[in-house]
Amino acid sequence: MKNRTKTILSGLIISGFLVAGSLGVVAQGGGQSKGKRPAQQQQKGGMEKGRTVTKQQRDQLQTCTTAADRLRDQTREMAKLAGGGFRMEDGLKLRDQLRDQLRTMDREHERLMQGLSQEQKMIWRERIRTMDQERTRVQDRFREMNQEFGKPNPDPAMIRKQAQEMERAVNEWRKQYREMNLG
């Protein structure tokens, strides 16, 4: 009976430490270091400190990064086109390519999110939140660009501005993928 009680207590103590560790609680300092929120502590210490990521997840992360690279390059091309010598026919063609690449990036991003475990989603929740915000920003800028193309006399300066904003958002989105990648 004594041994069984010790075993149960040991199990509870170990479980408590595991739960506290997964929540980012540290025995010293009440669980928070100065200037860092627990979510940031989890992100820095989660996957990056040895928890496993499958080869399939790494491959999907690479696919997402590649899709982001393509979208970024196309937004740069649109900004360059709209910056001088703008031809509507070239702009429409590139806009369609941007739309298709944005759809590809969305699809690949969803595949990545579906392939993450609950633990990974918890660890990366701040990165995922940031990606969702940037994703919305990219979609909003594309929608505004598309509306500009729908006008009788589209303003190349507005198209350029939207393309540059899209590029900035894609870069931030891509940065989150890069920081998730564990190589």
Residue 20 maps to a domain: no
CATH number, position 61: 1.20.120
Kindly state whether residue 30 falls inside one of the protein's structural domains. Answer: no
Residue 91's domain spans which residues? 47-180
122-142 residue pLDDT tens: 989 999 999 999 999 999 999
Judged against a pLDDT cut of 90, whether residue 27 lies above it is answered with no
Residue 16 lies in a domain: no
Give a yes or no: residue 76 inside a domain.
yes
Q: Is 9 a member of any domain?
A: no
The answer to the question of residue 134 being in a domain is yes
Question: What is the token pair recorded at 8?
Answer: 């149960």
* 8 Å CB contact between 80 and 158: no
The whole-number pLDDT of residue 53 equals 78
* Torsion sign, CA atoms 33, 34, 36, 37: positive
| 31 or 175, which is more confident | 175
pTM of structure:
0.69
Instruction: Report the domain count for the chain.
Output: 1
Residue 42 lies in a domain: no
* R_g of the chain computed on alpha carbons: 23
Q: Quick one: CA dihedral 65, 125, 34, 172, positive or negative?
A: positive
Inside any domain, residue 41: no
* Cβ atoms < 10 Å from Cβ of 160: 19
